[in-house]
């Protein structure tokens, strides 16, 4: 991912070679995923069914791209086969995942939110329900479904039950967690809500939040400063519950991000 960002930086600073290298890498990967799934002009359905969401997403994007710009009957036919294999909502999810479901974990500071150590690791809050189609699973890789904790704090204060993990999500992400929590609830109940995903890829505005700062989900806000996120009493109470349930004594305790989130979130109701 660092290399990818270096290439983007190269392009933004005026380097045509940076853009060429970036496009070359992206399309080479997508085309190779597509080629592996097609034999004699036919989509190999077994290969498709076995592939994880990101491979399917790249293959679908490559097929649509080829059908659009190459305009050959074979490219059209492969694209048609893929599109007819995938339900429309899942195709939309794959294309969204291809755009927004990228790796970000190394790019964002991961200070442990319990003890303040710098070597935290991003831990997943919710897991996909078993009946969720693979096309939707990229959503469980988004930032708002993760909280940074070091190994010791993870083992002590991040149990398997979802109740405590939910508190961590609320404390770390504030109102940005509300939209994601709502969507996970929908998935868990077997529902697949629809909305204007082009404009709001992560969750709809009616899920309790109305602005991008609240978390309606655009790519420009994928790199947040966690302290400035809005927190209501609900989110601050989640942080207080975690502090009480998993106390940390001594000097280091005063620099805990959880305390800072409570202090800087005051007056934001």
Q: How many CA atoms lie within 13 A of 60 on its CB side?
A: 26
Residues 78-107 binding Zn ion (CB under 5 A) are none
Using the rule CB under 5 A, is 171 a contact of Zn ion?
A: no
Tokens of 162: 């979802």
Residue 254 three-state SS: helix
Is residue 137 a contact partner of residue 149, using CB atoms and an 8 Å limit? no
Name the minimum Å distance from CB 250 to Zn ion: 13
| C-beta of 117 vs 197, nearer to Zn ion | 117
Name the minimum Å distance from CB 112 to Zn ion: 3
| C-beta of 91 vs 157, nearer to Zn ion | 157
| C-beta of 116 vs 128, nearer to Zn ion | 116
Using the rule CB under 5 A, is 22 a contact of Zn ion?
A: no
CA dihedral for 219, 225, 229, 234, sign (positive or negative): positive
Name the minimum Å distance from CB 140 to Zn ion: 23
Site of tokens 């693979």: 134
Q: Choose the binding region for Zn ion from 122-130, 151-159, 173-181, 228-236 (rule: CB under 5 A).
A: 151-159
- Which one of 79, 150, 157, 183 is in contact with Zn ion (CB under 5 A)? 150
Pattern of binders to Zn ion over 109-148, x per CB under 5 A?
---x-xx-x-------------------------------
Name the minimum Å distance from CB 181 to Zn ion: 24
| C-beta of 146 vs 181, nearer to Zn ion | 146
Name the minimum Å distance from CB 158 to Zn ion: 10
Question: Which residue from 131, 238, 227, 223 is spatially nearest to 181, judged by alpha carbons?
Answer: 238
Q: Which residues does 256 contact at the CB level (< 8 Å), separation at least 6?
A: 113, 114, 115, 116, 243, 248
| Site size toward Zn ion, by CB under 5 A | 6
Is residue 74 a contact partner of residue 40, using CB atoms and an 8 Å limit? no
Site of tokens 């109305």: 210
| C-beta of 234 vs 248, nearer to Zn ion | 248
Using the rule CB under 5 A, is 153 a contact of Zn ion?
A: yes
| C-beta of 5 vs 227, nearer to Zn ion | 227
| C-beta of 66 vs 115, nearer to Zn ion | 115
Tokens of 235: 């989110």
Distance, CA of 111 to CA of 126 (rounded, Å): 20
Name the minimum Å distance from CB 157 to Zn ion: 8
| Torsion on CA atoms 134, 139, 140, 144, rounded to nearest 10 | 180
Q: Which residues does 29 contact at the CB level (< 8 Å), separation at least 6?
A: 58
Site of tokens 């404009």: 199
Binding-site ranges for Zn ion (CB under 5 A): 112, 114-115, 117, 150, 153
């Amino acid at each position: 991912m660092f290399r990818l960002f270096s290439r983007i930086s190269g392009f933004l600073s005026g380097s045509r070679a940076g853009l060429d290298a970036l496009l070359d890498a992206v399309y080479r990967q997508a085309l190779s995923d597509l080629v592996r799934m097609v034999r004699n002009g036919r989509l190999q359905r077994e290969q498709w069914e076995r592939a994880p969401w990101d491979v399917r997403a790249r293959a679908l994007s490559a097929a649509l791209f080829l059908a659009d710009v190459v305009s050959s009957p074979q490219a059209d036919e492969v694209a048609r086969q893929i599109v007819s294999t995938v339900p429309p909502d899942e195709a939309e999810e794959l294309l969204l995942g291809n755009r927004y479901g990228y790796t970000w974990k190394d790019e964002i500071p991961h200070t442990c939110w319990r003890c303040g150590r710098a070597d935290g690791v991003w831990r997943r809050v919710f897991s996909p329900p078993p009946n969720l189609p693979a096309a939707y699973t990229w959503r469980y890789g988004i930032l708002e479904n993760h909280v940074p904790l070091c190994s010791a704090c993870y083992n002590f204060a991040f149990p398997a039950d979802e109740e405590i993990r939910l508190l961590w999500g609320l404390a770390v992400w504030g109102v940005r967690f509300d939209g994601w929590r709502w969507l996970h609830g929908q998935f868990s109940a077997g529902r697949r809500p629809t909305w204007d995903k082009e404009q709001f890829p992560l969750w709809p505005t009616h899920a309790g939040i109305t602005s991008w700062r609240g978390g309606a989900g655009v790519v420009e806000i994928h790199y947040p400063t966690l302290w400035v996120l809005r927190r209501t009493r609900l989110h601050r109470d989640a942080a207080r519950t975690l502090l009480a349930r998993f106390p940390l004594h001594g000097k280091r305790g005063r620099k805990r991000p959880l305390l800072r989130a409570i202090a800087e979130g005051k007056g934001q109701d």
